[in-house]
């Protein structure tokens, strides 16, 4: 163990918290300096045994005695510590006199370590000590230290959720806090679509079709469009659910593409929230990140093909009948009979957060859903042709009845034939029924419009559709396919597959 001290100082710290004890008494600036010194100590394999803090104390005023600085000198003198770390030389000294006192101790003890986090000061060398004197004489070389304080403040701001000078993040307006008119929704849809089965590659294609270009300065020479990694980085960015992140300088240099979910700032174990508008909820963001991570793992282990979801009709549409989690496609083990016959199944995967309680063989399930879907399309097209389409006026008679009844209740109340309480009960009941019928009416209108737009060519072209095209069509009518648990090894049972249609006027 090589014991050293850590010295921090701020001449003015507005963030000083007055009444707390111990560490909490130290203001933010000082705490941040210590944090950096901890990192430096770890890098240099030193142990910080004592912390010296002169918060709110100027170093350039000869009349001011810095208590902790005096203590530091004494401890260096008697060998309690064998060196000192500080953020920058101007935190330690700003007068030639103080520089000379420090330098004397390091001249006497050539093995002492005296290092700054920034500015490169090394008091074990003659140049380092000369520089300390020169910098002290020049008042800490104001030009450099101002620049450095800006950097320091930028780091502080990042922790508070601001970031200076960085390009506007995709999804937010220029103020970086309010949502961008169109990008926010595009990003939201994409984040929700990932656990639903869409791949990053498919989202990249969508975005390119929408005309999104790489952020400025990010475009590599020779590339014409969005990078896959750029799209992925946007989808997993903790910022989208409001979490603050901080990527330390050292990480920025060492990791080519940091996985930002690992750099969420936490306080007492909980993520720190930023002061910008979030695009999705933390749960939605987590589902997206978990799905992408699972796919990366699968790829790394050579398990699943690159674009699992695009290949399988019902991934993301089928859900677990036990826990409602989306089912994902999953290969049977090679060499088994099931693998030979069907190849894959759909499963509620615990690795993604499901209950693991449901698996179902893939192809028979897809056949069943496809057949039911096409039947429904034929039925709805038939209705359009016969002009017997959805009747949105079916509740209109009852709606005018309700209006009448409301009027009657009011009349009877005015004539004092019923009490106030009874009248209110009756009115609330009638109004509730009216609101519900109006809601149904709106849904019927929506269905009617969609059916009118449904193309009869769908039936003819269906067989030629790609899986993503089919999926898009299925989603028009099918909200989800609930797959209910079956006993192990049981034969495929159509009764256990429940299709939840988008509207309530489906064939039952």
| Token reading at 213 | 């270009």
* Sheet strand arrangement including 478-483: 318-320, 478-483, 497-501
Angle of helix 142-160 versus helix 28-44 axis, rounded to 10: 100
The distance of closest approach from Cβ of residue 255 to Zn ion in the complex, given in angstroms and rounded to an integer, is: 35
Stretch that binds Zn ion, among 55-63, 163-171, 247-255, 319-327 (CB under 5 A): 319-327
Q: Closer to Zn ion at the Cβ: 305 or 353? A: 353
- Residue with smallest beta-carbon separation from Zn ion: 320
Nearer to Zn ion, 76 or 481 (CB): 481
Task: Look at strands 328-331 and 344-347 and give their pairing.
Answer: antiparallel
Minimum separation from the CB atom of position 328 to Zn ion (A): 11
- Asked if 186 and 210 count as a contact pair (C-beta separation under 8 A), the reply is yes
Shortest distance, position 157 Cβ to Zn ion, whole Å = 43
Asked whether the beta carbons of 44 and 89 are under 8 A apart, the reply is: no
- Three-state DSSP at 425 gives helix
- What ranges in 138-281 are assigned the alpha helix state H? 142-160, 183-193, 200-209, 228-236, 249-254
Residue 138 found at the interface with Zn ion (CB under 5 A): no
Contact predicate 376/501, CB 8 Å? yes
| Minimum CB distance to Zn ion smaller for 323 or for 459 | 323
Q: How far is the CB of 357 from Zn ion (least distance, A)?
A: 5
Q: Output 322 or 443, the one with its CB closest to Zn ion.
A: 322
- Size of residue set near Zn ion by CB under 5 A: 8
Q: Rounded distance, CA 172 to CA 184, Å?
A: 7
How far apart are CB 167 and Zn ion at their closest, in Å?
Answer: 41
> Please, which residue, 3 or 353, has the CB nearer to Zn ion?
353
Q: What angle do CA 225, 228, 234 make, to 5 degrees?
A: 100
Q: How far is the CB of 480 from Zn ion (least distance, A)?
A: 13
Token readout for 15 is 């963030």
477 binds Zn ion per the rule CB under 5 A:
no
- Residue 360 or 395: the one with the smaller Cβ distance to Zn ion is 360
Strand partners, 329: 346
Residues 7-66, interacting with Zn ion (CB under 5 A): none
Letters for 354-393 (x = contact with Zn ion by CB under 5 A, - = none) are xx-x------------------------------------
In contact, 202 and 307? CB cutoff 8 Å: yes
Q: In whole angstroms, how close is the CB of 347 to Zn ion at the nearest point? A: 9
| Closer residue to Zn ion, CB minimum distance, 42 or 323 | 323
Identify which of residues 72 and 482 has a Cβ nearer to Zn ion in the complex: 482
C-alpha pair distances (Å), 29 with each of 9, 13, 255: 8, 7, 27
- Rank residues 30 and 320 by Cβ distance to Zn ion and give the closer one: 320
> Minimum distance between the CB of residue 372 and Zn ion, rounded to whole angstroms?
22
Q: What is the DSSP letter of 492?
A: P
Q: Tell me how far apart the alpha carbons of residues 193 and 63 are, in angstroms, rounded to a whole number.
A: 66
Q: Which is nearer to Zn ion, 195 or 274 (CB)?
A: 195
- Min dist. Cβ of residue 362 to Zn ion (A): 17
345: β partners: 330, 361
Q: Tell me which residues in 75-104 interact with Zn ion (CB under 5 A).
A: none
Q: Which is nearer to Zn ion, 163 or 348 (CB)?
A: 348
The interface region with Zn ion, picked from 88-96, 208-216, 313-321, 462-470 by CB under 5 A, is: 313-321
Closest CA to 78 of 37, 108, 100, 34: 108
Would you say 305 or 357 has its CB closer to Zn ion?
Answer: 357
**Helix, strand, coil percent values for the chain (each to nearest 5):** 50, 10, 40
Smallest gap from residue 355 Cβ to Zn ion (A): 3
Q: What angle do CA 419, 422, 428 make, to 5 degrees?
A: 135
Q: Pick out residues in 320-359 that bind Zn ion (CB under 5 A).
A: 320, 322-323, 325, 348, 354-355, 357
Give me 328's structure tokens. Answer: 């994902």
Shortest gap between Cβ of 195 and Zn ion (angstroms)? 14
- For the bound state, the minimum distance from the C-beta of residue 404 to Zn ion, rounded and expressed in Å, comes to 49
Helices (H), 220-361: 228-236, 249-254, 282-300, 308-311, 337-341
CB-based contact 151:145 (threshold 8 Å): no
Taking the CA atoms of residue 14, residue 19, residue 20 and residue 23 in that order, the dihedral angle to the nearest 10 degrees is 50
Binding-site string for Zn ion from residue 273 to residue 312, where x marks contact by CB under 5 A and - marks none: ----------------------------------------
Q: How far is CA 261 from the centre of its chain?
A: 7
**Least CB distance to Zn ion at residue 348 (A):** 3
Nearer to Zn ion, 92 or 347 (CB): 347
Decide: 196 and 292 in contact? Cβ < 8 Å.
no
Q: Which residues bind Zn ion (CB under 5 A)?
A: 320, 322-323, 325, 348, 354-355, 357
């Amino acid at each position: 163990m090589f014991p050293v001290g850590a010295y921090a100082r701020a001449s003015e710290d507005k963030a000083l918290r007055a009444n707390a004890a111990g560490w909490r008494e130290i203001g933010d600036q000082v705490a941040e300096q210590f944090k950096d010194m901890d990192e430096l100590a770890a890098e240099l394999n030193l142990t910080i045994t004592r912390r010296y803090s002169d918060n709110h104390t100027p170093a350039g005023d000869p009349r001011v005695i810095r208590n902790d600085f005096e203590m530091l000198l004494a401890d260096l003198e008697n060998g309690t510590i064998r060196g000192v770390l500080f953020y920058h030389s101007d935190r330690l000294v700003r007068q030639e006199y103080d520089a000379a006192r420090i330098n004397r101790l390091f001249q006497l003890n050539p093995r002492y370590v005296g290092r700054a986090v920034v500015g490169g000061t090394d008091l074990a060398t003659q140049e380092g000590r000369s520089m300390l004197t020169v910098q002290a004489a020049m008042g800490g070389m104001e030009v450099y230290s101002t620049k450095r304080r800006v950097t320091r403040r930028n780091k502080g701001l990042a922790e508070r959720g601001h970031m200076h000078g960085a390009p506007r993040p995709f999804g937010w307006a220029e103020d970086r806090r309010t949502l961008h008119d169109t990008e926010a929704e595009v990003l939201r849809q994409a984040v929700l679509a990932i656990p639903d089965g869409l791949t990053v590659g498919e989202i990249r294609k969508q975005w390119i079709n929408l005309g999104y270009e790489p952020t400025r300065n990010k475009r590599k020479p020779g590339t014409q469009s969005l990078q896959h990694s750029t799209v992925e980085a946007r989808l997993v960015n903790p910022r989208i659910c409001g979490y603050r992140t901080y990527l330390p300088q050292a990480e920025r240099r060492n990791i080519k593409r940091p996985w930002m979910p690992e750099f969420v700032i936490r306080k007492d174990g909980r993520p720190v929230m930023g002061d910008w508008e979030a695009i999705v909820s933390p749960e939605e963001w987590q589902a997206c990140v978990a799905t992408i991570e699972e796919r990366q793992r699968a790829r790394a282990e050579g398990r699943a093909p690159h674009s699992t979801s695009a290949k399988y009709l019902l991934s993301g549409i089928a859900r677990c009948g036990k826990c409602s989690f989306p089912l994902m496609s999953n290969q049977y083990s090679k060499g088994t009979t099931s693998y030979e016959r069907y190849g894959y199944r759909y499963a509620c995967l615990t690795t993604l957060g499901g209950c693991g309680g449901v698996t179902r063989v893939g192809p028979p399930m897809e056949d069943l859903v496809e057949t039911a879907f096409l039947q429904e399309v034929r039925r709805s097209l038939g209705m359009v042709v016969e002009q017997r389409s959805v009747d949105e006026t079916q509740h209109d008679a009852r709606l005018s009845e309700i209006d009448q009844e409301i009027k009657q209740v009011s009349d009877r109340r005015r004539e004092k034939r019923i009490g106030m309480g009874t009248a209110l009960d009756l009115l609330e009941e009638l109004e509730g029924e009216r609101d519900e019928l109006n809601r149904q009416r709106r849904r019927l209108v929506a269905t009617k419009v969609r059916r009118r737009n449904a193309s009869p060519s769908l039936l003819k072209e269906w067989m030629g559709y790609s899986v993503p095209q089919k999926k898009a069509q299925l989603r028009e009518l099918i909200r989800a396919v609930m797959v209910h648990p079956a006993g192990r090894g049981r034969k495929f049972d159509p009764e256990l597959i429940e299709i939840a249609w988008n509207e309530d006027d489906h064939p039952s």
